[in-house]
Each structure stands twice: as C-alpha cells, then as structure tokens.
Amino acid sequence: MVVKAAEVECRGPLSRSGVRQPPIRAYMDDLTVTTSVPGCRNRNSIDHGATSQGKLFDSSLKDTAAIQKSMEELGGWVTKVDKSGLLGRFKAWIYQYSILPRVLWPLLVYAVPVTTVESFERKISSFLRRWLGLPCSLNSAVLYRTSNTLQLPFSGLTEEFKVARTREALQYRDSRDCKVSSAGIEVKTGRKWKAEKAVEVAESRLRQKALCGAVATGRTGLGYFPKTKVSHAWGKERNHLLQEEGQAGVEEERVGRAVGLRQQGAWKRWESTLQRKVTWSNIMQADFHRVRFLVAAVYDALPNPANLHARGKSETPTCSLCSGRGSLMVAIAGATTRYSKQWLRA
C-alpha cells in the first residue's frame, strides 16, 4: 500500500473567462529517486525548434516562423508537381487528394489568418488553370463553386479552412467538459473572418429556415427532400447542420462575386438551364479537350475576336467572315454556314 501525505492544493491555470482549469500534478511514490543535473544548452532545439504533433515550437513561442515555413513547403510541393512529367489533369488530381489534405493540418494547428489562406488559394488557382489548360482570365470562383451551371470537382482551400475552424469552435463551445466549454477559448483566424461569428450566423440561418418551414424546390412536392430541424438535432447532427450552413455562406459570397462579373457571370441570367457536374472520370478521359472547351464556352472565355479585342490582343472585335461582332454566339450561329460557303468557293 502506498501512502501519500496531505499537501497544499495546487490550482491550475486561469483562462481568460475567469474559469480555473484543474491542476496537473505528477505522481511520485517512495521508490522514486530524484536527482539534478547542471544546466545545458540544447542547440538543436533552440536554433531549429522542436516539433510536437506536427507543430513547430521555437524560442520565440510564436507561429510566424512556422506559418512562413508552411508557405514555403506548400510552394515546394506545388512546384515539384508542376515540374514533373505528368499530364496536367494528373497534377490536378494530386493536388485534390494529396496536397490539399496535407496542407490543411498546419493551417489548423497554427493561428493562421484567413488572408494568408486566401493567398494560398490564389497561388493554387493559377496552377490549376495552367494544368487544365484553362484561360488565365478565368475567375477563381468558377473553379470551386458548387452551385454553378457547370461544376468542377475541386475543393477550395479557403472553404475547407473555414469549415474546419468552425468545427473547432463548435468542439470548444459544445464540449461535455464544463471546464472546456466555460473557458471561453477563442479560435484565432485574424480580423477579416471570425469562427465564432460564423457559428452565430449559421445558427441564425437555421432558425430562419425553421421559421420558413418546408419549401418546395423546382417541380418537386412538399416533403420530397426531408430535412432535419435545428431544434430537433443534437450532438454531431447539429454540428453537421451548422457546418453545412457555413459552406452555404461561403457559396453565397462566391455567387456575389460571380454576379459582379459581366462576362463570366452571364450564366446567372440563363433560364431553364440544367446543371452539369464534371467528374474525375470525365477529366481523365482521352477527349478532355471537350471538357476544356465546355468550361471556356460556358464562362465566355474562348479566344474569339471579341474577347481578344477586349484583352488588347486584336485590333477589331469583328468577325473575319462577316461584319458582325465576333462573339461566341455569332461563331456558333452563322460562322458554320459561312465557313462552308467559303470552302465551296475555294
């Protein structure tokens, strides 16, 4: 039997909300021998830092150097994939299923602001456009949107970051441990976007949907798509609903940007248009040039005379075979017959 003498109670750390956490005390019995050694300098840990569970700790105890290192690693991964001899569509697949999951972890363990994540996404978008052979002028909102007329199978880094940070805030707030839920832990994401504010907005959106009730979509009847009310959801199901609303908020921001685009956002004014999803099987087929033409045609980014004139690469926007403006509609509607007549004259 081990007998431990009574000692003065040691209090744990005090959180910002005023709640004191439970103490963490090491246990020591009669057979434990304590000793001491002279102080020594661990040059490797001080100069290069120490890594624990994927997080780098240096002498400054700040995340600035670690975030900079993560940016360099991301640039190195994308550059290595870009310089490989693979086809562009295979490079895009490597990003989606290899680079994206790896880069999400350092973005979660460090206090990375959302502006840094957006700069990551802009860099990745430029590589994706190059790998897929898409025009450089194609807006990044086209690549990652999930409610477009034409949807591509890519996930946005900013969207994944916001969803993961929202999930982290929900874990702290809805924890079963009262010490954790009442500690007031703040998820640091910079000043532009706050995870706690996003959770409040998602909850208000769900309450507004509950007030509206069942809404019919298209020609389907009421109740065709069953939905769980937020008042009846608990635990993981409630968190899943909040994360979906967070994604819907990001999607609405992209819709706002697409509406502001006069040319590439013209699909918002189309009526009775069916949505089409481009899957990885479509991208991996040999006739991928058809998918490339489809994306450029839907968002009006083809190198026709009108677009070339708008970019300053052509003197006149008129068609070479007719006096009309050389847009995509003119080329599809009338240029076919004119080309055939010109071929017959030749």
**Domain spans of the chain, in order of start:** 161-248, 302-334
pTM of the model: 0.77
Q: What is the pLDDT of residue 9?
A: 55
What gap in Å lies between CA 290 and CA 276, rounded to an integer? 14
What gap in Å lies between CA 226 and CA 213, rounded to an integer? 11
Q: What is the pLDDT of residue 47?
A: 57
Q: What is the pLDDT of residue 127?
A: 92
Q: 3-state SS string over the chain? A: CCCCCCCCCCCCCECCCCCECCCCCCCCCCCCCCCCCCCCCCHHHHHHCEEECCEEECCCCCCHHHHHHHHHHHHHHHHHHHHCCCCHHHHHHHHHHHHHHHHHHHHHHCCCCHHHHHHHHHHHHHHHHHHHCCCCCCCHHHHHCCCCCEECCCCCHHHHHHHHHHHHHHHHHCCCCHHHHCCCCCCCCCCCCCHHHHHHHHHHHHHHHHHHCCCCCCCCCCCCCCCCCHHHCCCHHHHHHHHHHHHHHHHHHHHHHHHCCCCCCHHHHCCCCCCEECCHHHHHCCCHHHHHHHHHHHCCCCCCHHHHHHCCCCCCCECCCCCCECCHHHHHHCHHHHHHHHHHHC
Q: What is the pLDDT of residue 268?
A: 74
The structure tokens listed for 178 are 């009262």
In tens digits, the chain (346 residues) has pLDDT values of: 555 555 555 667 777 777 777 776 555 555 555 556 666 665 555 556 677 666 777 767 677 788 888 888 888 899 999 998 899 999 999 999 999 988 888 888 888 889 989 988 999 999 999 999 888 888 888 888 777 788 888 988 998 999 889 988 888 888 888 888 888 888 888 889 998 998 888 888 888 888 877 777 667 777 677 777 777 777 788 888 888 888 888 888 887 887 777 777 777 777 777 788 888 998 998 888 888 888 888 887 777 777 777 777 777 777 766 766 767 776 666 555 555 555 444 4
What gap in Å lies between CA 302 and CA 293, rounded to an integer? 8
Q: What is the pLDDT of residue 264?
A: 77
Q: What is the pLDDT of residue 343?
A: 44
The structure tokens listed for 224 are 């065709």
What gap in Å lies between CA 92 and CA 195, rounded to an integer? 29
Q: What is the pLDDT of residue 95?
A: 92
